[in-house]
Amino acid sequence: MSDRLIDTRALEAALAEFARERDWDRFHNPRNLLLALTGEVGELAEIFQWKTDAEAEGVMGTNEAEHVRQEVADVLLYLVRIAMVLGIDIDAAVRNKIAMNARKYPPLRDTGDQT
Amino acid sequence: MSDRLIDTRALEAALAEFARERDWDRFHNPRNLLLALTGEVGELAEIFQWKTDAEAEGVMGTNEAEHVRQEVADVLLYLVRIAMVLGIDIDAAVRNKIAMNARKYPPLRDTGDQT
Amino acid sequence: MSDRLIDTRALEAALAEFARERDWDRFHNPRNLLLALTGEVGELAEIFQWKTDAEAEGVMGTNEAEHVRQEVADVLLYLVRIAMVLGIDIDAAVRNKIAMNARKYPPLRDTGDQT
Amino acid sequence: MSDRLIDTRALEAALAEFARERDWDRFHNPRNLLLALTGEVGELAEIFQWKTDAEAEGVMGTNEAEHVRQEVADVLLYLVRIAMVLGIDIDAAVRNKIAMNARKYPPLRDTGDQT
């Protein structure tokens, strides 16, 4: 689809198989996954909690970079699982929300080329 | 790439343009975006806070379905922005984390087809 | 004060001294403490993430009880620090919010003693 | 008790009555309250999400001060409810955690008064 913004189909298939191979579907209900998502967002926040903005912006040049990548991935994985168990089409939801945001927050007028 | 699990390239391009058109890049530093992510996870959690597991599993059949889709999208959008400002390759991070999880949690032995 | 609902004065004094003795005041600004609070809420959520409601209600009878107590304390300590650095009177804020909630959500009418 | 650091007894009594008068005890199980806590932390985070550290530190001098007080109170109220439904002695938990932290992070040596 030419207007697809995000493609999670291969990831969803991989996560479905991953859960099935471990008999984890019985744990992956919406409230459990929301608590797990909260936990992973907390782990990501902890990496940044005592950093200045400058330190935070430079974190990927430090030995914490791999930790940041792992926590970002963990948040994403649980979010995709939530969408999966709820039957949400992630790409459609994202495109719709961006369209809503664009109506709510119109672009600044470009006044730079008025000649 | 045949082994890509998630493709966020079009979304990242759209979000970059969206921020640029509104002069929002100055707000989108890692700590700000983390607080925004926390806010959106909170909004998603609030939809489910007084629901039983059965009610949570059935939420997409109710008039709250659109609200759930919007909050899932909001969490995703801020997470992708965090990855963008940190320069994280989301697909690589996800594939690496799944490989780590697979080593940490091996699949159950399938004893069902021993004949 | 007879209508005080919560008294955090001794705790605030102890936390002020604790931070001063470790030169931590320079880290304890509102945004940092909010990220730390998010982190601790995440740790508390993780304890419960794969539990049923029945398991969650029985957690204090298991060997996870001490962990739960510690995470509840951690969330409280960061929340009190946030109030401290912002100069919020916790008891006044709590009493005011309960009064607001009472107006928003009136008690159910008690129809049981109509004789 | 002379070594009590926080006294939540009157608040716990008030919250117990508040829930009882509205028949809310059936909703106030640990996982629900954790999702509600996550929601309130999110609302608090949203107030600060686009602020610089300087703006965050000055927020109580702005017209957002009352909003901040209300969200801090909301986080505290749900946290106390979590402790209540789990049967946690908040003061004991807090005193124990501070003692643990003191062992883990010893005070800096005071080298200022060496004469």
D31 closest CB neighbour out of A31, A52, A53:
A31
Dist. CA C81–CA C36, nearest whole Å:
10
Amino acid C1: pLDDT: 46
Which pLDDT value is given to residue A93? 98
- Alpha-carbon distance values, C63 to B24, C58, C60, D82 (Å): 48, 11, 8, 18
Q: pLDDT per residue over B36-94, tens digit each?
A: 999 999 999 999 999 999 999 999 999 999 999 999 999 999 999 999 999 999 999 99
Q: Cβ-count burial of A65 within 10 angstroms (0-12 exposed, 13-18 middle, 19+ buried)?
A: middle
Report the pLDDT value the prediction gives residue D112, as an integer from 0 to 100.
Answer: 53
Q: Residue A21: pLDDT above 80?
A: yes
Report residue C110's pLDDT band, with 50, 70 and 90 as the boundaries: low
Is there a contact between A79 and B62 (Cβ–Cβ < 8 Å)?
A: no
| Nearest Cα residue in chain C from A48 | C35
Residue B27 one-letter amino acid: F
Contacts of C40 in chain A (CB under 8 A): 42
Contacts of A35 in chain C (CB under 8 A): 45-46, 48-49
- Smallest CA–CA distance from D105 into chain C, residue: C22
Are residues A34 and B45, on separate chains, in Cβ contact within 8 Å? Answer: yes
Residues of D in Cβ contact (< 8 Å) with A52: 53
CATH (residue range A9-104): 1.10.287.1080
Predicted confidence at residue A59, as pLDDT, reads: 98
Min distance D94 CA to chain C CA atoms (Å): 5
Q: Measure the CA angle with vertex A80, ends C55 and C50; round to 5°.
A: 10
- Whether C66 shows a pLDDT value over 70: the answer reads yes
Residues of C with CB under 8 A from a CB of B: 31, 34-35, 38, 52-53
Contacts of D83 (CB under 8 A, 6+ apart): C72, D8, D90, D93
Higher confidence at residue B112 or residue C25? C25
CB contact under 8 A, B38 and D42: yes
CA distance, residue C112 to nearest chain B CA (Å): 26
pLDDT value of residue D1: 46
The whole model's pTM is what? 0.94
Chain D residues in contact with C72 (beta carbon < 8 A):
79, 82-83, 86, 88, 90, 93
Is residue B47 within 8 Å of residue B56, measured between CB atoms?
A: no
Cα distance from A115 to chain D (closest Cα, Å)?
Answer: 34
* Residue C42: band (very low, low, confident or very high) from pLDDT cuts 50, 70, 90: very high
Chains A and C: how many Cβ contacts under 8 Å? Answer: 51
Interface probe for C, chosen from B35, B38, B48, B52 (most Cβ of C below 10 Å), is B38
Query: Is residue C111 scored above 80 in pLDDT?
Result: no
pLDDT bracket for residue B115 (50, 70, 90): very low
Could you give the percent of chain C with pLDDT greater than 70?
Answer: 93
Residue C2 has pLDDT above 60, yes or no: no
What is the structure's pLDDT at A109?
74
Q: Do B38 and D43 touch (CB under 8 A)?
A: no
- What's the burial of B40, exposed, middle or buried (CB within 10 Å: 0-12/13-18/19+)? buried
Cβ–Cβ gap C5/D14 under 8 Å: yes
Q: Residue D3: what pLDDT?
A: 82
Residue B111 confidence (pLDDT): 53
- Whole-number mean pLDDT of chain A? 94
For residue B55 the two structure tokens come to: 């009610």
Residues of D within 8 A of B51 (CB-CB) are 32
Buried b (16+ CB within 10 A) or exposed e, A71-97: bbbbbbbbbbbbbbbbebebbebbbeb
Contacts of C38 in chain B (CB under 8 A): 34, 38
- The residues on A that touch D, with CB distances below 8 Å, are 31, 34-35, 38, 52-53
- D72 and C51 in contact by Cβ < 8 A? no
Spans of all domains in chain B = 9-104
CA proximity to C30, closest of D45, D70, B26: D45
Residue D42's CB is within 10 A of a number of other CB atoms, namely: 28
Minimum-distance CB partner of C38 among B38, B52, B53? B38
pLDDT for residue A25 is more than 50: yes
- Per-residue model confidence (pLDDT) at position A111: 53
Please, which chains are in contact with D (at least 3 CB pairs closer than 8 A)?
Answer: A, B, C
How confident is the prediction for chain C on average, in pLDDT? 94
Asked if the Cβ–Cβ distance from D30 to C57 is below 8 Å, we say yes
Task: Render pLDDT for A54-99 as a digit per residue (tens, 0 to 9).
Answer: 999 999 999 999 999 999 999 999 999 999 999 999 999 999 999 9
Of A35, A52, A53, the CB nearest to D31: A35
Query: Who has greater pLDDT, B114 or A45?
Result: A45
pLDDT-derived band at B21, boundaries 50, 70, 90: very high
Whether the pLDDT of residue C115 is over 60: the answer is no
Specify the DSSP class assigned to residue D2.
Answer: T
Considering only CB atoms, B36 lies closest to which of D35, D38, D49, namely D49
User: Is A77 close to B69, i.e. CB distance below 8 A?
Assistant: no
For chain D, residues with pLDDT lower than 70 are: 1-2, 110-115
Given the structure tokens 């004469």, which residue do they identify?
D115
> Residue C56's pLDDT is what?
98
Q: Percentage of residues in chain A with pLDDT exceeding 70? A: 93
